[in-house]
Amino acid sequence: MEANATTDRRQFVLFRLGPEEYGLPIERVQSIIRYEDPTPVPHAPAGIEGVINLRGQVIPVIDLAMRLLGTPFTPTPTARIIVAEGDAGLIGVAVDSASEVVSIPVSEIRPAPDTALTAETADAFEGVASQDDRLVILLDPERALPRPGFRVPADAAEEEADV
């Protein structure tokens, strides 16, 4: 019976971006570190703040606030980088704060309302759930985090500049 209780719940790492609270599935999160200014990368795709060195591994840091909220990420003393597994490998996600890990019953995860989403962000959301009298937006890491298809080849970027 306990195995059923485990499969009927999912764990999420909760974090804040601006006024909203989001969740990423814990199985995709490798670590949470204090925010450090990423090293800028020339000609990096839009939304990539730069890279950090984490235990000898170079990891891109994305500006999820720009993708989801339309405003650039501004670090504060509580800012963190969530290191998560995306389709393109490890990705650092710059967030205002990371607060806790919660276990949410699958039955309480509701689809995000289509009318509240823009075409640019609709695919990033798995759903919403109530947690301690507040709503948490649950992200689909396959869609919210960059994929190799998000990258613009240098030749394509130069061709666009020539047009």
Least confident of 58-67, 88-97, 113-122, 140-149: 113-122
Average pLDDT, the chain: 81
> pLDDT value at position 131?
83
Residue 157: pLDDT band by 50, 70, 90 thresholds?
very low
158: CATH: 2.40.50.180
> pLDDT value at position 81?
97
Q: Convert the pLDDT of each residue in 13-35 to its tens digit.
A: 999 999 889 999 999 999 999 99
108 is in which domain, residue-wise? Answer: 2-162
Q: What is the pTM of this model?
A: 0.79
Average pLDDT over residues 97-101: 93
State the DSSP string of the chain: -HHHHHHTEEEEEEEEETTEEEEEEGGGEEEEEE--PPBP-TTPPTTEEEEEEETTEEEEEE-HHHHHHSS-----TT-EEEEEEETTEEEEEEESEEEEEEEEEGGG-BPPPGGG--TTTGGGEEEEEEETTEEEEEE-HHHHS--GGGPPPHHHHHHHHH-
Q: Number of folded domains in the chain?
A: 1
